[in-house]
Structure 1
Amino acid sequence: MEGGRNYRFTTTFHSFCALLIFFSLNFRYSHSEKEFAVGVILDTGSWNGRMVNSCIMIAASDFYNINGHYQTRIVTQIIDSKGDPLKALEAVQDLLKKNVGALFLGPEMSLDGTLLALLSEKAKVPMFSLGGSLTSSDEYPYFFQLSHSEALQSKATAALVESFQWKTVNFICEDSEFKSGVLSHLFEYFQEKSIQIGHISALSSMISDDGIRAQLNKLMSMQTKIFVVHMSPSLASRLFLSVKSLGMMSEGYAWILTDKTRNFINSEELMQQMEGALALKPYVPPSIKLQNLTLRWRKEFQDEGPFMNVKELSPSCVWAYDAIWVLAGAVEGAYTKQYPKLAEEHSSESKKILMKELVKTRLKGISGDFQIVNWTVSLLKAFEIVNVIREGERRVGFWEKGVGITSEIMHSSLSSNDLKVIIWPGGSITAPRVAWPRGKKLSVGIPKKNSFTEFISLEYDIHSNTTRALGFCADVFEAALEALQYEVPIEYIPFVDANGESKGTYTDLLYQIYLEKYDAVVGDVTITNNRSHFVDFTIPYTDIGVGTITKVKENKDMWIFTKPVGADLCLITAVFFILTAIVIWFIEKPFNKEFQGSLYQQIGTIFLSTLFLSSRQKLSSNLSRFVMFIWVILVLILTSSYTATLASLLTVQQIGLASRGANVGYQTDSFVERAIASNLNFMDYSLRPYSSAEEYADALSKGSKNGGVDGIIDEMPYIKAFLSKYSPDYAMVDSASTTNGFSFAFRKGSPLVPEISRAIAKLREEGTLDTLEKKWYNKPSSLVNQELPPKPQVLKVDSFGGLFVIGGVSLGLALFARIFYIIRSKLNIYNYMFQTLASGNLAIMLRHMISSSELKETTHV
């Protein structure tokens, strides 16, 4: 019986457990999780598109395996864009119409980030982009850029170029990128680091292979062999096949790829075509999570075909994995805590609640700390710098935000700012430098001049059948070339016609550079704004500005000594002289016999004591000496001012060209005429053109009244050259910084411009430019000796008002002190007399009155 009871109990227990399991399973599977639709637009034909797609599936699986009790489930709808931007845009619009809860856009999407942001903002649907870049995300809170910003990558690219001391690069991009303005950041950071973009090749995505080769042939003819490439993978693959076939992946070339170009190239064949290039790659910190995800991905998707033959996950894949976790957590939080019908309804209220959950979600993800701050996902703080080799990629360093180029990501005392050894195109381990192509000569245009040949002239060598350039400009140019770290062979080509005469103006000569007939122009070429539109100038190697020279004339004016002082100053000084003399007489007369006597004697003493310093020893009163001291100071100041002004009038032969309507000369065929008329306010009828220093001297010697000129206005180098020959008879009387000096002109974007500019700066610091000036200007000091100060002003009362105020106050105080003393003395005498009368001592009073005159004689201040 007991066994039967046990049997029945066991049977009942098993039946109960089975029933419990049945109802539990039935409840689990009958319970339907709320699905949340997520649209995913990718190019499933690319290896990176497939990788991101697989990572999204793994992320969703991992999330719900850990959080199986969640009541919501993300369901992805994959749309294949086939790499077509228009098809991708159409897919975005279709999915938004279907009320998907969120969108994921693949890394190969080349659509404008602003357009995508506008669509997401209008639909109020969160959009996670792995490709499209957005300048400012504050205005579009529903658009989340998971990839790095263009500004950050541009900063890293500029720093990488700067680390090799390259000052000029060529840029190759897709025309859609160029027109969209995405590259504005790159140009901005290049400009900050004084890096010039010599040439920009914007290629259409529809360009033929022949068109690509034509563009590359044009780039090959240029001196700059440093290239930065930013374009889509399909176009980049075609580009580098042509680059390899044309021999542009050889020694002397350098190629820098942005992440957009590098991130899509995984073919071993393409790697071989790009061997030696440098590329920027977003840095994802290594971790156990990343290692496990990579192993799982390789295990589960190893049969996906050749696209899966990669060694590591792309950063886009890792960012997509973390973003799915964040989105799934936000969807569950919004559903269970605030809005249970989130998956069924897509009202504006439910979308706002989802956004709030997204913003407050925090995740310690594989890519690092994943959080949304100010509507921006900040994931990237560093780039890897990788060297493309035959086997794939090799890390050679990092660019870290706030640190710059470094050999290790953790900037410690052991890390350095140097990259590891780089294998450049052609197998070289030495960074390419700007160098002139072998076998090519620099064609230099030379103007034909008949005057001022000390600057530039031509000499034909019959034996070698070559043209030589002589003069100051040619010497500076050749000295600058010698300062370069490489040799540049040059060929001088005169700008003359069949008769050996000049073919045109200097502007015509410079335009030949734009027409690619010359590589450069050397001569007395002035930098102007309109010329800089079609050529690039180096820094000037001469003084800037223009000067005015005139003939030194002997001044025969017998009354010139009266000109330094104005009439008002003479009158005030005379009045002050008389007042001073009177005050001194008033103080000294009672007790100084020199100031007593007849009227004529007193007048003579008054003025002589003021005029001659020797009379100061005869003054007895301290008040008189004080007044004389003030007068002497005033006289010394006036005398020194008068002497200086008179000396200037005697040495400076200044002319008033504009005010007197004088004629002014300038150099023929020079833009100085325009500068004179616009900046110096001379009328056209007063201007006279001359073509040589000899004509300058002849016109100045005649003067305006005899058909010549009273002044010549020309650029400072010409002024120096003229004064080196005629300095005793002529002087520069004025100057103005209205021109920019002489410079060497090159083709637009020529890398020689910064190199020659640095060489000119070095020549100036070392004194080489001064030495060359002394060589061609026989008397270089003549300019300094003959350059005169501005015309002195006539001395007037206004300039000495304070001095006369001090003198007048001093006279008043001295006069007041003397009068006060006299009054006080009289009062003392009267008081004594009253006291004597009151005491009845008449005899003593009479005796005092008799001696009172003597008392005056002995009373001193």
Structure 2
Amino acid sequence: MERASQITFFLLLIIHSGIAQNATTSGADEFPVGVILNLESLRGKMARTSILMALEDFYTAHRNYSPKVVLHIRDSKSNSIEAASAALDLLENYSVQVIIGPQTSSQAAFVSDLGNKSQVPVISFTATSPSLYSGSLPYFVRATLSDSTQVNSIASLIKAYGWRQVVPIYEETDYGRGVIPHLIDALQEIDVRVPYRSVIPLSATTEQITKELYKLLTMQTRVFLVHMSPDLASILFTMAKEVGMMKKGFVWIMTDGLTNVIDSTNPSVMEAMNGVLGVKFYTPKSEELDNFTIRWNRRLQIDNPNDPPLKLSIFELWGYDTIWAVAQAVENLGIKNKTSFQKPAVARNMTSLGTSVYGPDLLKTILQYKFRGLSGHFDLSGRQLQASTFQIINVVDKGWKEIGFWTAENGISRRLYHGESMTRHSGLASDLNPVIWPGKSTEVPRGWEAAVNRKKLRVGVHVSVYPQFMTSGKDPITGATKAEGLSIDVFEEAVKRLPYALPYEYVAFGTTNDTSTGGYDDFVYQVYLKKYDIAIGDITISENRMSYVDFTLPYTESGVAMVVPAKSSRTNNTWIFVEPLSRDLWLGSIILLFYTWVVLWLLEFLGNNTNILGEVPRKLGIMTFFSLFGDKDRVERLLSRIVLIVWVFFFLVLSASYTANLATMLTIRQLNPTITDIHELRKSGDYVGCIRGSYVERILEQLNFDGSKIKTYNTYDGFYSALSKGSKNGGIAAFIHEVPYIRLFLARNCKGYTMVPFYKAAGFGYAFPKGSPLVGDISKAILSVIGGDTINQIEKKWIGIGYQNNCNNAGRAPDPEKLTPDGFTGLFILSGVVSTSSLLIAVVIYFYEKKNSTTKTQPDQKGDQAEGNERGNEAGEEMQNIGLQPIGHRRNASAVSWGFRRSFGTRVAPVSSSSRF
């Protein structure tokens, strides 16, 4: 804005030299409004027609409004100085209260500075540069969209098709540069890189544009975003087709500045643009818009009879709605005072430019007025229009077709949802209609190609301390680098599964210390330095490496673990037979057993079962375990059998669970590691080992291991020998290594050693330059390799079958958990409820029968005494036969109660022997 102020001061000098036009005096019923357009351009002519029709339509609909807006139209002649000069003329000589225009962002910057000084609102419906909207321009109003509002829709479109790199091509003007920072931010949010920015001067010749296109052709990126004026874009697309950049595999995207005027593009240019995508402001269809379009076409042809037919665009609609907003604001403000400017008492800077009396209130009124115009919802309350919907189009033949929409609420969608509640779309290409891409291809371009100036990708290989993973050498005949190993086979298999050819050659890493992590770090860093296109091998994916390269998905298991000696524990525990059940379950089972015994005895006792007499524990045990369905020593009551059936079911379930858990303990827990925790190992002060210079050594340092207790080795034999000796004999107690290497070690040394994982890591992957589009394709191919039988065949080839199947010590299986009462709560409750309920039922029956028996014997007590004595004598004889001696005769007592008294020292009421429930 400082530059604009300097130019404005310069213009003031020119004006006071005599360039100003003759002043005219406005009538009392007129409200002067200035309009600055580039009347030499087609877009300026189209805007002029739209503005004039808007004023006519407004006062046709509101004939009684006064004062009426009078337009003073000036030509900017595509020049910022001419635009500023026209603004000064309008302000000084015509006292305009509003300036509409100018068209370009650079011109609007000059004019807006004058508007601030004079407090006159400047409203532009074509200046879209985001830099114009700032606190330093309080009187500038954008009756159009800022270019920054479209960047999220463009980013969503790029994300939907999975492109990872984009090259913006923009003109070297305020309009071209203004959107770039916003665009870069939006692309960074979706992890899309901008490897190069192509800046085209506004005055560039076809030769300059062709040279820049050839430069782009030598790069890998094939996704281009065009943001420039229509005239320059026409030349760009025409030349792009000539150099072969509008064929299959290329992607072109236009910003809304181009897409909004696509209908007015020359047919020959449209033919060159076939396959291009674009985003444009969505204009809802209406009957009023259709009628206006017909009238506008007629009027444009009358105003410009020598120009070719043109089609109405959104910019003309915004110009139409702007005039309605200004005219309505003038009416709402109720302006009556003829004096509209306050002139300064003393002229400064050789100009008598004053300040508008109505400017502040008029600006406030315009910003508050909202209505439904031809362009849709017209709301300038934020000093600029807010877009809620963008339309995504595809240029086909000499026209275009709609492929979807973008809204801030729903993202990308195939159709527009008007006020419908819906779930946000996935944002994938499947949410859009099919696209016809450049070259009339229906296949979605992958967005990149191998650079034409390089025939093969340079694939760096690194010799591993484990040749099974990676080894390399020179071909004695051709001298080319050869490589083999598990890492090589996985990579080559992944490349075969790519949907396109990927030529490459191996380049050996040239460090002398290839076995150190320093060597691996240096090796990966060569990718960052662009000496290699890819680095493959047993490269651990780590956080510090990912800061300067991108990795594919891992193709091996992840993690860091300890290799420790294993000891057998299957026969060491004398009391292992009690371990399957927890203490609470043992105690609960025993209590339930005794409770069931007591209930059974009481049930049979109340039921007069003679089998419970005699040696009670022996009899009860026989009845409980062996006589549910037998004839001898069996329980007789139905209630007793129900209780016993439920308890036996509980016993069977418990015994089956006990057997299974005990068998698991005897088989799985064959080997236990001598060390189970890395922190215990650190506290013990034993020696540990690792590969010299590996990143595992840094992990041990982070875990506060004493550096003097860490031994490093270069070879497999070194740490194997040390591990065999043990820490007390000059060796090590544990060897710390990555899981894939430990798997390899255990495949060769299955007996006597086991693995104890303790640290999470990402595994092995392949390194690519940051933002490389190959990462996603190779990762997808790796998933295909490791997801089938191919990886098993590769591992069997290089590691051996023992890597997968023959070693059961590749990790300590967790100890089987003891069974707890939680898993048997239902059975406990069922058995307890059934036993208790049965006992309660038996007691009720017992007392009921006792009461009935007493009632029957009372009336005939004396008469039946002799008969009772006789029955007592007979019962006494039966008792003697089963081993019981009578203690004496009692009147009115039954043989059963008499016998029970002899056995248990108490007397019970007689119960009918026929009762068995």
Distance 1:319 1:700, change over 3 A: same
Out of 778, 782, 789, which is 1:756 matched to? 778
For 1:773, the aligned partner's letter is: E
Please report how far the alpha carbon of residue 441 of structure 1 lies from its aligned counterpart in structure 2 after TM superposition.
Answer: 1.4
Mapping for residues 676-825 of structure 1, pairs under 5 Å: 698=721, 701-702=724-725, 714-727=737-750, 729-732=752-755, 738-764=760-786, 767-779=789-801, 780-782=803-805, 789-795=813-819, 804=828, 807-808=831-832, 810-825=834-849
**Corresponding residue for 1:102?**
98
**Corresponding residue for 1:25?**
none
Distance 1:842 1:154, change over 3 A: same
Distance 1:87 1:420 in 2: 42
Please report how far the alpha carbon of residue 472 of structure 1 lies from its aligned counterpart in structure 2 after TM superposition.
Answer: 1.9
Distance 1:293 1:459, change over 3 A: same
Distance 2:97 2:807 in 1: 81
Task: Report the TM-score when normalising by structure 1.
Answer: 0.72
Distance 1:566 1:684 in 2: 44
**Corresponding residue for 2:556?**
542
**Corresponding residue for 2:167?**
170
Distance 1:774 1:352, change over 3 A: same
Out of 307, 312, 316, which is 1:318 matched to? 316
Contact 1:33/1:73 (<8 A) preserved: no
Distance 2:595 2:161 in 1: 81
Distance 1:264 1:74 in 2: 29
Distance 2:529 2:566 in 1: 47
Please report how far the alpha carbon of residue 106 of structure 1 lies from its aligned counterpart in structure 2 after TM superposition.
Answer: 3.8
Distance 1:639 1:379, change over 3 A: closer
Distance 1:795 1:771, change over 3 A: same
1:35 correspondence with 2:52: no
Please report how far the alpha carbon of residue 465 of structure 1 lies from its aligned counterpart in structure 2 after TM superposition.
Answer: 0.6
Please report how far the alpha carbon of residue 461 of structure 1 lies from its aligned counterpart in structure 2 after TM superposition.
Answer: 1.0
Out of 421, 435, 447, which is 2:462 matched to? 447
Cα deviations across residues 519-545 of structure 1 (Å, max 9, x unaligned)? 111112233333222112223333444
Please report how far the alpha carbon of residue 205 of structure 1 lies from its aligned counterpart in structure 2 after TM superposition.
Answer: 7.8
**Corresponding residue for 2:881?**
none
Distance 1:188 1:441, change over 3 A: same
- 3-state DSSP class of the match of 1:485? coil
Cα deviations across residues 345-380 of structure 1 (Å, max 9, x unaligned)? 517666655666x534x55x5xx6675598757798
Please report how far the alpha carbon of residue 450 of structure 1 lies from its aligned counterpart in structure 2 after TM superposition.
Answer: 1.6
Distance 1:273 1:231 in 2: 19
Mapping for residues 383-532 of structure 1, pairs under 5 Å: 385-386=394-395, 394-401=398-405, 417-418=433-434, 422=438, 434-438=448-452, 439-451=454-466, 453-497=467-511, 504-532=518-546
Contact 2:517/2:695 (<8 A) preserved: no
Cα deviations across residues 218-274 of structure 1 (Å, max 9, x unaligned)? 855532232213356899799999989999789865543324368899999x97998
Distance 1:384 1:648, change over 3 A: closer
Distance 1:96 1:611 in 2: 118
Please report how far the alpha carbon of residue 833 of structure 1 lies from its aligned counterpart in structure 2 after TM superposition.
Answer: 3.8
**Corresponding residue for 1:24?**
none
Instruction: Name whichever of 375-384 and 648-657 sits farther off.
Output: 375-384
Distance 2:752 2:112 in 1: 76
Distance 1:636 1:430, change over 3 A: closer
Contact 1:41/1:88 (<8 A) preserved: no
Distance 1:739 1:639 in 2: 43
**Unaligned segments of structure 1, at least 5 residues:** 1-28, 304-308, 388-392, 408-415
**Unaligned segments of structure 2, at least 5 residues:** 1-23, 341-356, 416-431, 876-892, 900-912
1:346 correspondence with 2:358: yes
Contact 1:510/1:521 (<8 A) preserved: yes
Out of 869, 887, 907, which is 1:846 matched to? 869
Please report how far the alpha carbon of residue 199 of structure 1 lies from its aligned counterpart in structure 2 after TM superposition.
Answer: 1.9
Distance 2:786 2:221 in 1: 27
**Corresponding residue for 2:69?**
73
**Corresponding residue for 1:410?**
none
For 2:399, the aligned partner's letter is: R
Distance 1:127 1:685 in 2: 76
**Corresponding residue for 1:657?**
676
Instruction: Name whichever of 463-472 and 47-56 sits farther off.
Output: 47-56
Cα deviations across residues 684-739 of structure 1 (Å, max 9, x unaligned)? 88876566665665555555665666665654433443343344555556577x22
Cα deviations across residues 280-324 of structure 1 (Å, max 9, x unaligned)? 475888967546645654664578xxxxx7652573652354235
Cα deviations across residues 746-781 of structure 1 (Å, max 9, x unaligned)? 112222122223323343455433443343342254
Distance 1:261 1:524, change over 3 A: farther
Distance 2:584 2:676 in 1: 28
Distance 1:253 1:396 in 2: 18
Give the superposed CA RMSD: 5.8
Out of 856, 859, 862, which is 1:835 matched to? 859
Distance 1:691 1:625, change over 3 A: farther
Please report how far the alpha carbon of residue 584 of structure 1 lies from its aligned counterpart in structure 2 after TM superposition.
Answer: 3.7
Please report how far the alpha carbon of residue 444 of structure 1 lies from its aligned counterpart in structure 2 after TM superposition.
Answer: 1.3
**Corresponding residue for 1:596?**
613
Distance 1:328 1:587, change over 3 A: closer
Task: Report the TM-score when normalising by structure 2.
Answer: 0.68
**Corresponding residue for 1:639?**
655
Out of 558, 565, 572, which is 1:557 matched to? 572
Contact 2:129/2:178 (<8 A) preserved: no
Distance 1:223 1:534 in 2: 19
Distance 2:641 2:442 in 1: 92
Distance 2:573 2:95 in 1: 103
Cα deviations across residues 76-129 of structure 1 (Å, max 9, x unaligned)? 36484966699979979x97999854343444216999x989x99x96947343
- 3-state DSSP class of the match of 2:321? helix
**Corresponding residue for 2:353?**
none
Contact 2:676/2:756 (<8 A) preserved: no
Distance 1:703 1:125, change over 3 A: same
Please report how far the alpha carbon of residue 502 of structure 1 lies from its aligned counterpart in structure 2 after TM superposition.
Answer: 6.2
Contact 1:545/1:716 (<8 A) preserved: yes
Distance 2:739 2:92 in 1: 70
**Corresponding residue for 1:7?**
none
Q: How many residues align?
A: 793
Mapping for residues 216-295 of structure 1, pairs under 5 Å: 221-231=218-228, 254-260=251-257, 278=276, 280=278, 282=280, 290=293, 293=296
- 3-state DSSP class of the match of 1:504? helix
Please report how far the alpha carbon of residue 671 of structure 1 lies from its aligned counterpart in structure 2 after TM superposition.
Answer: 3.6
Instruction: Name whichever of 457-466 and 248-257 sits farther off.
Output: 248-257
**Corresponding residue for 2:636?**
621
Distance 2:84 2:517 in 1: 58
- 3-state DSSP class of the match of 2:556? coil
